[in-house]
Chains A and B, each alone.
Chain A
Amino acid sequence: MSMLEVTHLKKTYTTRFGGDKVEALRDVNFTVESGEYVAIMGESGSGKTTLLNILAALDRPTGGKVVLNGLDLSTVKESAMASFRRDNLGFVFQEFNLLDTFSIEDNIYLPLVLSGKSHADMKRRLVTLAEQLGITDILKKYPYEVSGGQKQRAATARALITYPQIILADEPTGALDSKATDELLTLFSNVNKTGQTILMVTHSVKAASRAGRVLFIRDGEVFHQIYRGEQTSEELYAKISDTLTMLAGGGEIK
């Protein structure tokens, strides 16, 4: 059984005054195996963000279902949703979403504090994680005192510290310069090698080329996918570029 199964997912937005319906997701089907590193690519308006919001249980689908480790998300009650998210999902956002009122350390602790973990337990988890992510030195600092790359690593730590089933990353490199981007992508690869499942939505060919599999979405459907197989990142990069060119040209890929 796959870790994440998405079947016939459909999301229709109705404009405020009734009338027009906008189909953000038409019929999305895919699965993610445990330990996989999947990138989802697509143009603006292709439904990427809607998909991620539904996977993150921030939004409810109009049709179809999302099953995480055998649990249908639609059966999780609204009141239990936040704690479900907290315990099973880790998030990394484009704009970091660190809280300026907390130090880096406290930002990372936030989900654990909300789950009622003891300070000793939190500390134990953080020590190894901080070492792995290279943020031990900045733990006592505040978000405004550190660089974008450091912020994103802190955000990654916050996502990982709950030992989530799956990491959902939304354009994690979108606000980073190229050096920080490389560092973060290497970090993601390393994290993935420890067995952590990652699902990343991105525009960036470079980011996607580091994943194990790339899904392409167009007009609310999964349009195409590429497996890394034995290819290097460079080879995958070229393949993704070709695919995107084809997509832009509106052609079909066989």
Chain B
Amino acid sequence: MTALIYPKLAWSGIWKNKKLYIPYLLTSIGMVAMFYIVSSVSYSEGIRGISGGDTIVEIMGFGSGVMAIFSAIFLFYSSSFLMRRRQREFGLYNILGMGKRHIGVIMLFETVFTSVISILLGLLFGITFSKLAEAGVHYIMKAEVGYEMTVSPEAILLALPIFAVIFTFILLVNLLRVRLSNPIALLHSESAGERPPRANPVLAIGGVVLLGIAYYIALTTANPIMALALFFIAVIMVILGTYALFISGSVFLCRVLQKNKRYYYRSDHFISVSSMAFRMKRNGAGLASICILLTMVLVMLTASFSLYSSEEDILRASYPRSILCQSGFNTFKDFENDETAASFRKTAEKALEDAGCEPENGYFFRMAYMICGMIDGSFTSFNDPSVNMDDYYYQSGSNNMYNLYMVPVRDYNEMYGTDYTLADDEALIYTAYEDYNDSVVNIKHIGEFRVVGHVDEMLDCDKIMISAYPTIILLVSNTGENLEPLEKFMSRYYHYGFDVADGTESAARQAIYNIELTDDGEQIYPGLFSLSFSSREFDRIDFFSMYGGIFFLGVMLSIMFMLAAVLIIYYKQISEGYEDRGRFEIMQKVGLTKKDIRRSIDSQMRTVFVLPIAAAAIHLAFAFPMLKRLLLMFNFKNGPLLLMTAGACVLIFAVIYLIVYKLTAGAYYRIVSSGER
């Protein structure tokens, strides 16, 4: 009988505080369900079976790790909020003669109840929705879906211990919290001596500076590789800066407003400004968290959706034709030989025709290539032993890396029907990522080329530029023996691209694959050492599984972050409601009308509502140029699409956020007005 009192007290504690516990349970159920879904995708045989499924499985494996970490953080946050509100009750139990050990037992039961509910219902929802998620993955990857219902025991076995550990850890921390407190403190913990915060200008200025630097980095980093490295630094600075600004900057701003007597002593500003100044320090962190979560969601969805939705564009840019053959040569001499070039093309065409394929829209050019740095005014290969490596890195900053390509101008003329003629020291130039505005290009060991003009298009440059360094393509009169000093530093390839009729692609691939490079031990072309092909359809599968997986994970993480943001907003409103109840009661006695209450609450709500999403939108706006450059590495160049996606994401989340706010504001009004006479 007495043993039963603890579970009973625990259950009634949950039930009496259902306004707090139901959102908590919903969130933890959601977290468990989503963890299950993501990890069940990572264990799914059905998905592993489809081509490219391995990539998805890998991404989801990584994704479930990320989800577990964020679940732990969010659940920990919400339970600490719950505990703050419950301490009064525990204090009362303590004063009524219940030892801390007994309170601990009650908390144990509460944790058992909540975690069992969360895990069971979470798995149930997870299993229900995982089929939907799997269908989603199949849809994203454009594969067929099976309709049998599956349960993933591996995912369950993974979810169980992870969430058991999270809940146990939360319980331990809460127990410690009760242990360290005394009953009177527990009883009064809600109304513990509140002092209005002083503005901390150092923190506020620090926040502004951090954000300024991060924004500056985002706006000015031109090189995608640098952008990738600096992106994370910028992200961390933005996070710190946002917290500093919300916590201190807002108090500082309120204090400034309070100094302005004309502004402050007006009935519509008086109450809202003072109570915002008062609570910003504590709730600034909450607002900053909401802002950061929203920013993450916006960036993630914008990037992953843009990538995913422009898959065909990117593929077509990477593969102007459905198949591309590349063959490598050992020497410039053999590479430059026009007979070899013509004969190579004929051999390939014949092999294709023998296989019953008709190559169309064929193009052909020769291209020599090296990665180099700008040293003492000339482009120098990274493999050049005569140069100290340090010079590459220190001479002109860390951006000192270029892709340098050289193409004989007659190949270009044939491809594009132009008739450029160049002297030996002249060059036409094509650039990507960075403009090149000098009138000469100086290449170490070779000498100077005068830039006589720019060309606007170059096939295959998207494919070859995937490394994302600034790229310079030089069209020159010859790429033969004149370049021999660079023989060891450059690689030389023929590019032969063509379309084939639908359905004959795999036959074409096979035909290219079957071309023999040697005949009786002799190379069919002198100096030819490799022949490789790549195909749009082949890459499409990789593409879908990679970008599709990222997109799917992006959506799942967005849902999770949104859940967390909603929970934070809700708890914020509830706790402010309890705090404000007494204040509004007093103010009504002093002569505050119901209309005034409504107005002052609305004005506060508007500010508090607008702040995080406005800040998130500003973050996104500044992240935009950087995002654009990062996506270049995936060959994504569709700026307008990215902009539209970003705009749409902001709009969608503003609407969701507005709805959530309206709903939680209702809870707030009810709490405040329940204290009225």
The residues of A with any CB-CB pair to B shorter than 8 Å are 53, 56, 58-59, 79, 81-83, 85-87, 89, 91, 93, 97-102, 106, 109-111, 113-116, 118-119, 122, 142, 144, 158
Contact = CB atoms under 8 A, between A and B. Distances in A.
B180 interface: no
A240 B266 CA distance: 46
Contacts of A100: 194, 196, 278, 583
Given A101-B196, A116-B267, A119-B261, A110 B590 contact: yes
B677 A59 contact: yes
A93 B589 contact: yes
A86 B274 CA distance: 20
Given A58-B677, A101-B196, A114-B596, A91 B589 contact: yes
B265 interface: yes
A114 B592 contact: yes
A12 B677 CA distance: 16
Contacts, number: 78
Given A83-B591, A114-B591, A144-B195, A102 B274 contact: yes
A106 B635 CA distance: 60
Contact of A101 (B261, B275, B595): B275
B134 to A, nearest CB: 52
B586 interface: yes
Interface residues of B, number: 27
Q: Which of B196, B278, B589 gathers the greatest number of chain A CB atoms within 10 Å? A: B589
B670 interface: no
Given A59-B677, A83-B591, A91-B590, A142 B196 contact: yes
Nearest to A122: B265
Contact of A99 (B195, B587, B591, B594): B587
B583 A99 contact: yes
B594 to A, nearest CB: 7
Contacts of B586: 97-99
Nearest to B269: A113
Given A106-B270, A116-B267, 17 more contacts: A59-B677, A79-B595, A93-B589, A99-B586, A100-B583, A101-B196, A101-B274, A109-B265, A110-B270, A111-B590, A113-B266, A114-B590, A115-B267, A115-B591, A119-B261, A142-B195, A144-B194
B16 interface: no
B193 interface: yes
A34 B580 CA distance: 37
A28 to B, nearest CB: 20
Interface of B: 193-196, 261-262, 265-267, 270, 274-275, 277-278, 583, 586-596, 677
Contacts of B262: 119
B266 A82 contact: no
Contacts of B588: 82
Contacts of B583: 99-101
Contact of B589 (A58, A79, A83): A58
A86 B270 contact: no
A158 B587 CA distance: 12
A119 B195 contact: no
Nearest to B593: A82
Contacts of B193: 144
Q: Which of A98, A113, A122 gathers the greatest number of chain B CB atoms within 10 Å? A: A113
5 contacts: A79-B593, A82-B592, A97-B586, A97-B589, A113-B270
A122 B266 CA distance: 12
A83 B593 contact: yes
Nearest to A80: B593
Contacts of A110: 270, 587, 590
Contacts of B277: 101
Nearest to B196: A142
B267 A106 contact: no
Contacts of B590: 86, 91, 97, 110-111, 114, 158
B29 to A, nearest CB: 36
Contacts of A114: 267, 270, 590-593, 596
Nearest to A116: B267
A147 to B, nearest CB: 15
A97 B586 CA distance: 6
B265 A111 contact: no
Contact of A111 (B278, B591, B677): B591
Contacts of A144: 193-195
B275 A82 contact: no
Contacts of B592: 82, 114
B594 A82 contact: yes
A59 B677 CA distance: 8
A238 B278 CA distance: 48
The 3 closest A-B pairs by CB, nearest first: A86-B591, A82-B593, A101-B278
B261 to A, nearest CB: 4
A91 B261 CA distance: 26
Contacts of A86: 590-591
A101 B274 CA distance: 6
B591 A113 contact: no
A98 B593 CA distance: 18
Contacts of B593: 79, 81-83, 114
B576 to A, nearest CB: 12
A119 to B, nearest CB: 4
Nearest to B261: A119
Nearest to A117: B265
Contacts of B595: 79
Q: Which of A53, A97, A99 gathers the greatest number of chain B CB atoms within 10 Å? A: A99
Q: Which of A82, A91, A98, A109 gathers the greatest number of chain B CB atoms within 10 Å? A: A82
A104 to B, nearest CB: 12
Contacts of A91: 589-590
A28 B661 CA distance: 48
B600 to A, nearest CB: 10
Contacts of A119: 261-262, 265
Nearest to A101: B278
Contacts of A56: 589
Nearest to B194: A100
Contacts of A111: 590-591
A31 to B, nearest CB: 25
A82 B596 contact: yes
A102 B275 CA distance: 8
A79 to B, nearest CB: 7
A244 B485 CA distance: 118
Contacts of A93: 589
A35 B449 CA distance: 104
Contacts of A122: 265
Nearest to A114: B267
Nearest to B262: A119
Contacts of A142: 195-196
A122 B264 CA distance: 13
Q: Which of B195, B270, B274, B586 gathers the greatest number of chain A CB atoms within 10 Å? A: B586
Contacts of B591: 82-83, 85-87, 89, 111, 114-115
